[in-house]
């Protein structure tokens, strides 16, 4: 079960890193946090349950420095999400120093012959307590190693929990934060932090039993009921992310400098049943969502109406980021939570509407339908016809004939 959960977390970390590192860079720290948790879980699994010399030789001692990154990565993720900021500052290098020190300490072991590491694995499999008697290249006590990394992770986790609760108690509506989404993201961070906190307490208890009772076996330690509770907690993290991916958008915050007067796009008569006026204007805006990002949603629609960037075949959300000068995950939040439409769908409908208007204006007298489609931003005639039918329920020719009839 532990192996399955670890592999599930690792897969999730890779997938969410691939899809979200550009949308919301802070999610990189979440992915790395999950990777560290996975490495710790796999090391624990092969140490307590495993009988494979090969895998134990790989995981034993090689990844020890990574454990000291768990706390800093949690801090960077929580802080970046609460402040809606990406990246690190120079002072954050201090948080990395314990990792660097541990890496220097373990470096001699990394370069020892593979045959020696296999012998170490044999000794651990024979009796895991032999770890205390294994000759070390340097004097680095396992007890000191455990205490340093566990106290560090525990301290960072407590501090992150305090940050979340302080934010939750003191952020007012005037800070231009979407409240319902903030509460949702905060609940996820609480789950993540409390699972990490419980894991740290559990490992402290298990290691306490290990040092206090010499009769305990590795299987008895690993079979402790606390492990089952921990597995449930670890399983909850990917479940929440898979079924509620919006938690990865963070807590988008509009600055006061980005305050805009809401506008209504110009009303244009739409003949196609697939493209009513409501579908391109305020009907996309969810009336239940009352937050300042309504203004950004209005800016998006006004830009589409006035500047018509969709006429560029290469127009993407990257262009929209540059035109509006807002973070990418703010736009994703607006499309998913306020406009209630995907960017690609909105772009397609504006292009189709432009085609319809050109047809009404008699452009087919001098141009073919395919030429009008290309002029309206479609990359090819095939995509033009497919998207037009998907949006309107009819082909461009059928729409032209409906106007003539």
Helices then strands, each counted (H, E), the chain:
18, 0
Q: Using pLDDT thresholds of 50, 70 and 90, give the confidence band for residue 262.
A: very low
Contact 378, 389 (CB under 8 A): no
**How many C-beta atoms lie closer than 10 Å to residue 110's C-beta?**
11
Q: Which fold has domain 268-404?
A: Arc Repressor Mutant, subunit A (1.10.10)
More confident: 197 or 170: 197
Q: Using pLDDT thresholds of 50, 70 and 90, give the confidence band for residue 295.
A: confident
Out of 86-100, 102-116, 138-152, 356-370, least confident range: 138-152
The pLDDT of 99-119, averaged and rounded, is: 88
* Top-ranked range on mean pLDDT: pick from 22-36, 72-86, 237-251: 72-86
Would you state the pLDDT for residue 150? 83
Report the chain's mean pLDDT, rounded to a whole number: 77
The pLDDT of 307-326, averaged and rounded, is: 88
Strand residue runs (E) in 237-308: none
pTM metric for this prediction: 0.69
Judged against a pLDDT cut of 60, whether residue 273 lies above it is answered with no
More confident: 84 or 357: 357
Tell me whether residue 266 is exposed, middle or buried, using C-beta atoms within 10 angstroms of its C-beta: 0 to 12, 13 to 18, 19 or more.
exposed
Tell me whether residue 111 is exposed, middle or buried, using C-beta atoms within 10 angstroms of its C-beta: 0 to 12, 13 to 18, 19 or more.
exposed
Q: Which of 195, 201, 264, 207 has its CA nearest to residue 235?
A: 195
Would you state the pLDDT for residue 266? 39
Would you state the pLDDT for residue 162? 94
More confident: 94 or 318: 94
> Residue 31 and residue 34: Cα distance in Å, rounded?
5
Would you state the pLDDT for residue 131? 63
Residue 218 CB partners (closer than 8 Å, separation 6+): 47, 48, 49, 128
Q: What pLDDT digit, counting tens, does each position of 353-400 carry? A: 999 999 998 888 888 999 999 999 998 999 999 999 999 989 999 988
Contact 276, 270 (CB under 8 A): yes
Tell me how long the chain is.
Answer: 405
**How many C-beta atoms lie closer than 10 Å to residue 213's C-beta?**
10
> Residue 80 and residue 93: Cα distance in Å, rounded?
16
Would you state the pLDDT for residue 261? 39
> Residue 234 and residue 327: Cα distance in Å, rounded?
31
Q: Can you tell me which residue has the tokens 């694995």?
A: 121
Half-sphere exposure of 65 (CA within 13 A, CB side): 16
Q: What pLDDT digit, counting tens, does each position of 50-59 carry? A: 678 898 889 8
Would you state the pLDDT for residue 178? 60
Tell me whether residue 211 is exposed, middle or buried, using C-beta atoms within 10 angstroms of its C-beta: 0 to 12, 13 to 18, 19 or more.
exposed
Q: What pLDDT digit, counting tens, does each position of 220-251 carry? A: 666 667 667 777 777 777 777 777 766 666 76
> Residue 184 and residue 173: Cα distance in Å, rounded?
16
Judged against a pLDDT cut of 80, whether residue 31 lies above it is answered with yes
> Residue 371 and residue 367: Cα distance in Å, rounded?
6
What residue segments make up the domains of the chain, in order of their start?
Answer: 2-249, 268-404
- Quote the distance between the C-alpha of residue 200 and its chain's center: 23
More confident: 343 or 277: 343
Tokens of 399: 């729409």
Helix intervals (H) in 281-404: 293-306, 317-324, 328-333, 343-360, 369-375, 381-392, 396-404
More confident: 325 or 156: 156
């Amino acid at each position: 079960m532990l192996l399955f959960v670890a592999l599930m977390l690792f897969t999730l970390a890779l997938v969410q890193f691939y899809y979200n590192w550009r949308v919301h860079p802070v999610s990189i720290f979440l992915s790395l946090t999950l990777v560290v948790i996975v490495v710790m879980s796999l090391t624990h699994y092969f140490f307590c349950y495993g009988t494979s010399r090969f895998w134990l030789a790989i995981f034993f001692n090689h990844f020890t420095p990574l454990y000291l990154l768990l706390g800093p990565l949690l801090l960077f993720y929580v802080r970046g999400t609460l402040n809606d900021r990406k990246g690190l500052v120079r002072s954050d290098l201090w948080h990395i120093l314990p990792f660097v020190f541990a890496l220097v300490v373990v470096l001699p072991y990394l370069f020892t012959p593979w045959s020696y590491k296999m012998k170490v694995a044999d000794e651990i499999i024979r009796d895991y307590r032999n770890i205390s008697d294994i000759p070390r290249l340097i004097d680095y006590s396992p007890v000191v190693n455990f205490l340093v990394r566990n106290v560090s992770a525990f301290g960072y986790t407590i501090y992150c929990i305090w940050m979340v609760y302080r934010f939750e108690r003191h952020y007012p509506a005037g800070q231009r934060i979407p409240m319902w989404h903030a509460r949702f993201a905060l609940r996820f961070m609480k789950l993540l932090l409390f699972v990490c906190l419980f894991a740290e307490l559990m490992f402290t208890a298990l290691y306490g039993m290990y040092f206090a009772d010499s009769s305990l076996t590795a299987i008895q330690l690993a079979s402790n009921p606390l492990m089952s509770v921990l597995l449930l907690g670890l399983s909850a993290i990917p479940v929440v992310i898979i079924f509620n991916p919006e938690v990865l958008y963070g807590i988008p915050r509009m600055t006061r400098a980005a305050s805009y007067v809401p506008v209504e796009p110009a009303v244009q008569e739409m003949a196609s049943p697939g493209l009513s006026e409501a579908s391109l204007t305020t009907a996309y805006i969810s009336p239940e969502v009352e937050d300042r990002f309504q203004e950004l949603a209005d800016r998006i629609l006004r830009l589409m109406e006035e500047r018509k960037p969709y006429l560029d075949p290469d127009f993407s959300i990257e262009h929209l980021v540059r035109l509006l000068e807002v973070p990418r995950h703010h736009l994703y939040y607006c499309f998913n939570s306020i406009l209630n439409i995907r960017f690609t769908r909105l772009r397609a409908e504006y292009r189709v509407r432009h085609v319809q208007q050109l047809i009404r204006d008699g452009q087919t007298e001098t141009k073919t339908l395919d030429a009008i489609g290309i002029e309206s931003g479609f990359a090819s005639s095939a995509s033009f016809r497919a998207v037009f039918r998907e949006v309107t329920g009819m082909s461009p020719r059928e729409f032209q004939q409906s106007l003539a009839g």
